[in-house]
């Protein structure tokens, strides 16, 4: 919903990747099942913002004109509006092994470009006139794939095609939509340093700008302006915390470099201040077999990255992973701790306090998508009630 008390045109939502469903009909049904209760709890007297997750096959169907008419009617009935789309996972996101496959197809592939264009067509049609739109997406590729020969060039070319489509979409419809790359541990872009370097050394180089300029009928300077207007970073606070970044400083570094932040995802990660043998069984309760739980261990001298939680546990048993652990597992933001271990909620709280004073992004999205696989002790009630509790927590921190 709109938070008029904050500086900037800020909209707060939750991401519907929380709900299972890959087909367009399943996604629409999940909105009918969950949104009324969430709206009644957090926005009974105003429209509820929704962060819509689309799969590849759902986006291709949803952009059809008759489907858009029906969806606009559904949103009106729900008293809701969509201002951001999560177009990160292309395929199934619940109930099957997702792990590293969540990044495929990546930005080397025309399928990723087409998926993004389909999502943009949906958003341009349903976006309110007084709100800009955003689409969060894969940060290039899984790191191993992004390092293959020719990968970075192909990734940049795919992103340039997507930006060209967004420029032409705005010219045609008047709706401004920005694509937001979401840095994540063990991906091509996983830190602010890597993100800044990618923009400066890849996307803003003459070859990339000339490619965009030719697609949209601009000169190189105009192409750079449009690139900055339609491509930025989706900063996920959970991901930044796992990387031991200061999220507020990270956001300010991006903005100081002229890189927009179309969306900030409000989230928290698992934190183990000092790993011990007694805590191995505790952390392995979160090894759900569905999602990657990238783990970064901080010793006095360095950070050591592990692609998945079992890899870090194996290293610890061999005496190679002593220190603080931060684990990529989205945990409820309203909990200050997780029992025997902690969370990085303090980073979220400090970021919300900073956003209360100064706008850094107009789109804020709560994203705890792990409800179906979290240990039972972390689920305090029905899913809709827990989602509402998360939104309410963030609202209180933002506006009191």
Q: 20-71 pLDDT, tens per residue?
A: 889 999 999 999 999 999 999 999 999 999 999 999 999 999 999 999 999 9
Q: How does pLDDT run across 7-20, given as a tens digit for each residue?
A: 888 999 999 988 88
Residues above pLDDT 90, as percent of the chain:
87
The pLDDT value given to residue 373: 73
Q: Is the pTM of this model over 0.95?
A: yes
Total residue length of the chain: 400
Give the separation between CA 7 and CA 2, rounded to whole angstroms.
11
Q: Do the Cβ atoms of 16 and 53 come closer than 8 Å?
A: yes
Q: Read off the pLDDT of each residue in 275-300 and give the average, rounded to a whole number.
A: 94
Q: How far is CA 28 from CA 53, 58, 79, 170, 205, in A?
A: 11, 10, 14, 26, 41
Q: How does pLDDT run across 328-337, given as a tens digit for each residue?
A: 999 999 988 8
Instruction: Indicate the average pLDDT of the chain.
Output: 95
Give the separation between CA 2 and CA 15, rounded to whole angstroms.
15
Q: Do the Cβ atoms of 1 and 48 come closer than 8 Å?
A: yes
The pLDDT value given to residue 106: 98
Q: Do the Cβ atoms of 1 and 47 come closer than 8 Å?
A: yes
Q: Read off the pLDDT of each residue in 109-125 and give the average, rounded to a whole number.
A: 98
With a CB cutoff of 8 Å and minimum separation 6, the contacts of 29 are 21
With a CB cutoff of 8 Å and minimum separation 6, the contacts of 304 are 296, 297, 315, 320, 321
Helices (H) and strands (E) in the chain, counts: 15, 13
Residues above pLDDT 70, as percent of the chain:
100
The pLDDT value given to residue 15: 95
pLDDT at 264 over 80: yes
For 189, half-sphere exposure in the C-beta direction (CA atoms, 13 angstrom radius) is 26
Q: How does pLDDT run across 134-179, given as a tens digit for each residue?
A: 999 999 999 999 999 999 999 999 999 999 999 999 999 999 999 9
Pairing type for strands 324-331 and 295-298 reads antiparallel
Domain annotation for the chain: domains and CATH numbers = 11-268+343-399 (3.20.20.150)
Nearest alpha-carbon partner for 202 in 251, 136, 259: 259
Pairing type for strands 177-181 and 363-366 reads unpaired
pLDDT at 93 over 80: no
Burial pattern 14-46, b for ≥16 Cβ within 10 A else e, equals bbbbbbebbebeebbebbeebbbebbebbbeee
């Amino acid at each position: 919903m709109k938070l008029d008390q904050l500086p900037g045109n800020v909209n707060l939502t939750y991401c519907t990747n929380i709900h299972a469903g890959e087909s367009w009909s399943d996604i629409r049904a999940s909105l009918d099942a969950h949104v009324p209760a969430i709206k009644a709890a957090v926005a009974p007297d105003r429209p509820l913002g929704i962060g819509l997750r689309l799969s590849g096959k759902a986006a291709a169907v949803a952009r059809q004109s008759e489907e858009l008419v029906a969806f606009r009617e559904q949103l009106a009935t729900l008293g809701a509006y969509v201002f951001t789309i999560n177009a990160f996972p292309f395929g199934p996101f619940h109930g099957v092994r997702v792990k590293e496959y969540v990044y495929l197809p990546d930005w080397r592939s025309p399928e990723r470009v087409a998926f993004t264009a389909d999502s943009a067509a949906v958003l341009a049609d349903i976006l309110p006139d007084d709100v800009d739109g955003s689409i969060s997406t894969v940060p290039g590729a899984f790191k191993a794939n992004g390092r293959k020969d020719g990968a970075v060039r192909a990734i940049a070319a795919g992103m340039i095609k997507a930006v060209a489509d967004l420029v032409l979409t705005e010219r045609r419809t008047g709706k401004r939509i920005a694509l937001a790359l979401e840095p994540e541990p063990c991906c091509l872009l996983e830190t602010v340093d890597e993100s800044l370097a990618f923009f400066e050394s890849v996307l803003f180089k003459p070859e990339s700008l000339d490619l965009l300029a030719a697609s949209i009928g601009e000169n190189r300077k105009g192409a750079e302006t449009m690139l900055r207007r339609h491509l930025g970073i989706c900063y996920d606070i959970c991901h930044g915390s796992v990387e031991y970044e200061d999220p507020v400083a990270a956001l300010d570094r991006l903005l100081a470099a002229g890189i927009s932040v179309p969306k900030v995802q409000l989230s928290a990660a698992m934190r183990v201040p000092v790993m011990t043998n007694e805590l191995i069984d505790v952390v392995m309760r979160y090894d759900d077999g569905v999602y990657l739980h990238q783990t970064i261990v901080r010793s006095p001298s360095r950070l050591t990255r592990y692609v998945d939680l079992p890899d870090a546990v194996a290293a610890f048993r061999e005496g190679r992973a002593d220190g603080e652990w931060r684990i990529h597992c989205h945990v409820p933001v309203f909990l200050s701790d997780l029992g025997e271990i902690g969370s990085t909620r303090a980073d979220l709280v400090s970021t919300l306090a900073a956003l209360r004073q100064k706008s850094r992004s107009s789109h804020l999205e709560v994203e705890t998508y792990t409800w179906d696989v979290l240990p039972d002790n972390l689920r305090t009630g029905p899913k809709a009630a827990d989602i509402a509790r998360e939104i309410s927590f963030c609202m209180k921190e933002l506006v009191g």
